[in-house]
Structure 1
Amino acid sequence: MHANVLKYFVEVARCGSIRKAAQNLYVASSAVNRQVLKLESEMGAELFDRLPNGIRLNAAGERVLQHIRSTLNDFHLMRSELDALKGERKGHVSVAAMDSLFVDFLPATVEEFSESYPAVTYSIAAVPPHDVPARLVSGEYDLGISYVTKLPAGLDVVTEVSLPPGVVMASSHPLAKKERISFEECRNHAFLRLEGRSPIQGVVANDFHEYWESLKPSVTCNSTTLLKRLIASGRGISFFSKLAFLDELARGEVVWRPLDDVNVNALTVGVIAPNQRALAHVTLQFVDRMVRRLKHVELSLRGV
């Protein structure tokens, strides 16, 4: 199959819209539609269900997408191996990670890695923690960083560190004087909530969902950066790992306190990778940099 057909098909499947896919690919919608129709003709079957508000992969399309991702992975692997034979340092790294890692950890890792591998390109997506494993299993991304819970078959934890979620607040907050904080104590203070399902939900008692929904946050948003600023200014408290507040903790602007829950405190943050497909040389090198940085961060945050 021609490379453009594969690229267009994957983007349409991801967007659920030919128009949005065309915008992302910087080509005309007619060109994308033509390639999709050409692929369906070659396959002898429709690959999408056409809906009033877009298009959606059907069973045949899901199977084709699985094959294409496997084909593209093998292609990138082969290119990486050829580059390695020529002594070149090229390739592509794709990572799905929880949003808090985009504040300091991932930017620093990419900056450091780019000094040694300046020709490498990246696809890095902020994904809710519980969705990270699925993005790797599907082949959409090669690496993941998230809280480690029960993983689906086909994935391994490369390394994990003890950086569980806890309560983050301004250093002047009344709760900052406590060594541990209960969920009920949090209810009595202004709460700032990151939109979506909390990573804590899967590891504590079943009634946590009711507790989470019963909270009346003063702010709900999908931006860790915004919540960080509001927390540091004393506008409220929230649940975060120390990973999102490396600089603020070092400067003493905020404090982090563990929750009074043994299951939450046992949560780890891990680098996750597939075990059923080979990863390119440059991706393995990037894994090594992430592992080293994650362990360094864990060590530097002890006692903070």
Structure 2
Amino acid sequence: MHASILKYFIEVASCGSVRKASERLYVAASAVNRQIHKLEDELGVELFDRMPNGLRLNAAGERLLKHAQETLHQYQVMRTELDALKGERTGHVKVAAMDSFFEELLPSAVEDFLQVFPAVTYTITAVQPMEVAQMVMSGQVDVGMTFVSRLPGGVAAVALAKLPIGLVMPPGHPLANHASVSLKECARYPFLRSSSHPVISAALSPEFAAFWDDMEPAATCNSTPMLKRLIRAGKGISCFSKIAFIEDLKRGDLIWRPFELPALDQLQVGIVVPSQRVLPHVTQNFVGRMARRLTQLELAAAAAV
């Protein structure tokens, strides 16, 4: 409990905002705020100056920050030593995920996991959505993160979130005024394609697969950050879930609209694992933490328009 409170304090100090800290921690802002007040009550001193634009550490807060960082470091060292004695908290986590997860969710998840499991090593691979389940099934990876529709035998989804594919565009684009967008309307504008292959199978939506194959893209690029930059620059529109665009949508830097295709609008993203073999303890822990983060991401996406 003491470690958790200090972690909340460090994150708020780093962000200068309870709300931003809660988003990085994937914890409700009210819970973070409650812990900060509890810490101040326990110490009998305020740790932050409450400014109009956020929180700023005062002298007491600066002193506590140094103590908190040192304490958590020593705590993790001690846990690693104890775990080595028990043979736990070590291992190798192998993950394959579509590129959108590499923008924020996976980096922050691994960063957080390293605080608790510092001895764990990783292999994390960005692949096309339809390749993920096959890599899990073949044993190349233990955990996959992708769109989930029809999974092959030997693969099961352990967490799902409604994060459908929609159209991403800059503010002021003609399609931004539409509540939803048809593929015919998309075809009138320069399109940025994330792969030469459709991001979902033709069996799920033959109309979308045909649109993907028939278009003449303004650019094809498999890097989400690169495509995001091109969209912002007005070089074209593209289709993504909201996974990599939450902050851009909140700020109004980009606009997202659903497609007029039920198969796409009901699409879910999930964490998939092998169903016929037991994962190592540390990988199971990683999957559990990722599942909680995915739930938080779904809530954040619903609020980002």
Cα deviation for residue 201 of structure 1 reads 4.0
1:228 and 2:225 aligned: no
1:250 and 2:276 aligned: no
Instruction: Provide the C-alpha distance between the structure 1 equivalents of 2:127 and 2:204, rounded to a whole number of angstroms.
Output: 21
1:275 matched residue in structure 2 = 275
2:89 matched residue in structure 1 = 89
Instruction: Provide the C-alpha distance between the structure 2 equivalents of 1:157 and 1:246, rounded to a whole number of angstroms.
Output: 23
1:183 and 2:168 aligned: no
1:217 matched residue in structure 2 = 217
Instruction: Provide the C-alpha distance between the structure 2 equivalents of 1:83 and 1:138, rounded to a whole number of angstroms.
Output: 31
AA at the equivalent of 2:98 = M
Cα deviation for residue 165 of structure 1 reads 0.6
Task: Give a deviation string over 1:20-47, Cα, whole Å, max 9, x none.
Answer: xxxxxxxxxxxxxxxxxxxxxxxxxxxx
Aligned residues: 223
Unaligned runs of 5+ in 2: 1-81
Instruction: Provide the C-alpha distance between the structure 1 equivalents of 2:269 and 2:254, rounded to a whole number of angstroms.
Output: 21
2:48 matched residue in structure 1 = none
AA at the equivalent of 1:280 = P
AA at the equivalent of 2:229 = R
> Are the aligned partners of 2:198 and 2:213 in contact in 1 as well (CA < 8 Å)?
no
In the superposition, the TM-score normalised over structure 2's length comes to 0.70
> Are the aligned partners of 1:200 and 1:264 in contact in 2 as well (CA < 8 Å)?
no
1:295 matched residue in structure 2 = 295
SS in 2 for 1:119: coil
Runs of 4+ in 1 over 4 A off after TM superposition: 82-85
SS in 1 for 2:119: coil
1:193 matched residue in structure 2 = 193
AA at the equivalent of 1:163 = L
Instruction: Provide the C-alpha distance between the structure 1 equivalents of 2:295 and 2:241, rounded to a whole number of angstroms.
Output: 15
1:295/1:205 CA distance change after superposition, 3 Å: closer
Instruction: Provide the C-alpha distance between the structure 2 equivalents of 1:289 and 1:207, rounded to a whole number of angstroms.
Output: 36
1:103 matched residue in structure 2 = 103
Instruction: Provide the C-alpha distance between the structure 1 equivalents of 2:264 and 2:156, rounded to a whole number of angstroms.
Output: 21
Cα deviation for residue 186 of structure 1 reads 0.3
Cα deviation for residue 207 of structure 1 reads 4.5
What does 1:64-213 align with in structure 2 at a 5 Å threshold?
Answer: 86=86, 88-202=88-202, 204-213=204-213
> Are the aligned partners of 1:94 and 1:124 in contact in 2 as well (CA < 8 Å)?
yes
Cα deviation for residue 200 of structure 1 reads 3.6
SS in 1 for 2:296: helix
Instruction: Provide the C-alpha distance between the structure 1 equivalents of 2:203 and 2:215, rounded to a whole number of angstroms.
Output: 18
Instruction: Provide the C-alpha distance between the structure 2 equivalents of 1:84 and 1:152, rounded to a whole number of angstroms.
Output: 37
Cα deviation for residue 172 of structure 1 reads 2.0
1:258/1:207 CA distance change after superposition, 3 Å: closer
> Are the aligned partners of 2:149 and 2:204 in contact in 1 as well (CA < 8 Å)?
no
Cα deviation for residue 87 of structure 1 reads 6.0
1:297/1:203 CA distance change after superposition, 3 Å: farther
Task: Give a deviation string over 1:215-246, Cα, whole Å, max 9, x none.
Answer: 11111112111101111222210010100212
Instruction: Provide the C-alpha distance between the structure 1 equivalents of 2:205 and 2:133, rounded to a whole number of angstroms.
Output: 22
> Are the aligned partners of 1:165 and 1:200 in contact in 2 as well (CA < 8 Å)?
no
Cα deviation for residue 205 of structure 1 reads 4.4
Instruction: Provide the C-alpha distance between the structure 1 equivalents of 2:130 and 2:204, rounded to a whole number of angstroms.
Output: 15
> Are the aligned partners of 2:95 and 2:125 in contact in 1 as well (CA < 8 Å)?
yes
Task: Give a deviation string over 1:55-109, Cα, whole Å, max 9, x none.
Answer: xxxxxxxxxxxxxxxxxxxxxxxxxxx9687164211100011111111111111
AA at the equivalent of 2:273 = A
Cα deviation for residue 149 of structure 1 reads 1.4
SS in 2 for 1:242: coil
SS in 1 for 2:302: coil
> Are the aligned partners of 1:203 and 1:263 in contact in 2 as well (CA < 8 Å)?
no
SS in 2 for 1:283: helix
Identity over the aligned pairs, expressed in percent?
47
Instruction: Provide the C-alpha distance between the structure 2 equivalents of 1:250 and 1:273, rounded to a whole number of angstroms.
Output: 32
AA at the equivalent of 1:119 = A
AA at the equivalent of 1:158 = V
Unaligned runs of 5+ in 1: 1-81
In the superposition, the TM-score normalised over structure 1's length comes to 0.70
> Are the aligned partners of 2:197 and 2:213 in contact in 1 as well (CA < 8 Å)?
no
SS in 1 for 2:159: strand
